[in-house]
Amino acid sequence: MVSPDPVSGPMSRPLSGIVVQKYGGSSVADAAAIKRVARRIVEAKKAGNAVVVAVSAMGDSTDELLDLANQVSPLPPARELDMLLTSGERISMALLAMAISDLGFSARSFTGSQAGVITDSVHGKAKIIDVTPGRIQSAIDEGHIVIVAGFQGVSQDTKEITTLGRGGTDTTAVALAAALQADVCEIYTDVDGVFTADPRIVPAAQKLATVTYEEMLELAACGAKVLHLRCVEYARRYDIPIHVRSSFSQLEGTVVSGSIDHQEPTMEQAIIAGVAHDRSEAKITVVGVPDKVGEAARIFEALAGAQINLDMIVQNVSAAATNLTDISFTLPRSDGQTAMTTLASLQSEVGFDSLLYDDKIGKVSLIGAGMRSHPGVTAKFFSALAGAGVSLRMISTSEIRISVVVDEDEVDSAVAAAHTAFDLDASEVEAVVYGGSGR
Ligand code: ADP
Ligand code: ASP
Ligand code: MG
């Protein structure tokens, strides 16, 4: 008999009969797709579940709204941008509810605010601080299928409408699953699960049957946008298993659950879970910073005050003759303008020479719990990159990750080289990309 895994708490919870599903933009790109998804939701309802759905805006419509905003204003006010972007999910939620009702089932759509998704007040990247699912629970109790607009909430303090950051509907779904004590959170997308690399770049990528929260956190943090980073953090905190699968096929996907702390590192396990890449970052170098106690702290306090999350940070040893040092770091490109303005205003106070901005970079990361017990992973990674003629601009590591910054146009070849070097290429191509523009 198989004894229950001590980390899989939800398995030992009494089943609630509630299933939370999330459909991404590519799964609801047009009217036909919305009808197809409606049929799939109805199947889950017919199987005897209460069904709650978080839905994204149709296709690339969030990008189109952003383009429109930028045509009207180069720096749109964050409050108005959130008002605009949340409209995308309102369109898809209402259309989906209509399509379900056309199949003879009753559905109720709710905005994030109506669904009780309470956030902090940071527009554009709000964090969910609470979910009060009273209205949703009542709708479930009345037998309706519930559709919730993803990626949005309402601020507890300011009462303004907020968005959770790009890809945030995944987080809406997991937060709803946690609040409703759902049995499972299914994330439906345009690929069959989580692969060893983005199948758009590496057609020989292989689907992972399972992946731990920690490895998925690193993959998501390093750019594997198949899951939103905060959704994985949330799922780990509440021990909600996530099933990532395709809305275009009936195949089993990838189950994200369990912890590397409960896994004995063995010599047999695959060393690397996957290779992730990220083209959304930029690099800033603060040139000629006086090497005095507290100068770096002032720089990073100012950036934190501007709500900017930094990623890699490298400080060079100061040149003895000048006692000046350079500090480089990476950050989301979307924060580049704000960071440069914030730093420029510190120049006379801190006394650095100049600022350099480079957004023609990309990050490639190797992730896997197995690297804890395997020496030589870094050497193999770097020699694979060297073999592909890729130059390294920055390096950082964690217990289960090695990341490098490379030139943007070398990202694809770096990912492919690492994937091959660690024997991740499938002998027969199984990765299918069913939809989406990859935008
Ligand atoms: P959705 O619209 O369903 O939210 P996303 O575009 O946000 O879909 O995420 C799915 C995409 O994530 C895939 O089409 C794929 O290109 C990309 N992706 C990046 N890394 C991975 C990976 N390791 N496994 C699967 N997909 C990945
Ligand atoms: N529509 C939003 C976006 O494109 C949220 C999401 O799709 O999860 O980022
Ligand atoms: Mg997504």
Q: Which ligand is nearest to the CA of 23?
A: 1
- Helix, strand, or coil (residue 28): helix
**Is 89's C-beta closer than 6 angstroms to any atom of ligand 1?**
no
**Best residue for ligand 1 mutational test, from 37, 202, 216, 225 (most atoms within 8 Å of Cβ):** 225
Rounded CA separation 275/268 (Å): 19
Share the mean pLDDT of the chain: 93
Could you list which residues have their CB under 5 Å from ion ligand 3?
A: 24, 167
Identify the sign of the CA torsion 117, 143, 235, 203.
Answer: negative
Ligand 1 atom index nearest CA of 274: 23
* Tokens encoding 373: 């017990």
Distance from Cα 228 to the centre of ligand 3, integer Å = 6
Residue nearest to atom 8 of ligand 2 (CA): 167
Ligand 2 atom index nearest CA of 89: 1
Mean of the pLDDT values across residues 204-209?
A: 96
Selected residue with higher pLDDT from 4 and 436: 436
* Tokens encoding 193: 């699960």
**Is 167's C-beta closer than 6 angstroms to any atom of ligand 1?**
yes
* 278 pLDDT more than 70: yes
3-state SS, 215-270, equals HHHHHHHCCCCCCCHHHHHHHHHHCCCEEEEECCCCCCCEEECCCHHHCCCCCCCC
Please state the φ and ψ torsions of residue 23, each to the nearest 5 degrees. -115, 125
pLDDT tens readout for residues 291-308: 888 888 999 999 999 989
In the structure, which protein residues have their CB atom closer than 6 angstroms to any atom of ligand 2?
A: 24-25, 56-57, 62, 88, 150-151, 166-169
pLDDT-based confidence at residue 1 (cuts at 50, 70, 90): very low
C-beta separation of 310 from 303 below 8 A: yes
- Helix, strand, or coil (residue 274): strand
Is 0.85 surpassed by the pTM of this model? yes
Selected residue with higher pLDDT from 378 and 439: 378
Identify the sign of the CA torsion 389, 390, 395, 397.
Answer: negative
Distance from Cα 420 to the centre of ligand 3, integer Å = 26
Q: What is the pLDDT of residue 8?
A: 43
* 428 pLDDT more than 90: no
Say which CATH class 14-259 falls into. Answer: alpha beta
CA dist list (Å): 215 to 21, 167, 233: 22, 19, 11
Q: What is the pLDDT of residue 269?
A: 63
Q: What is the pLDDT of residue 322?
A: 84
Residue nearest to atom 9 of ligand 2 (CA): 166
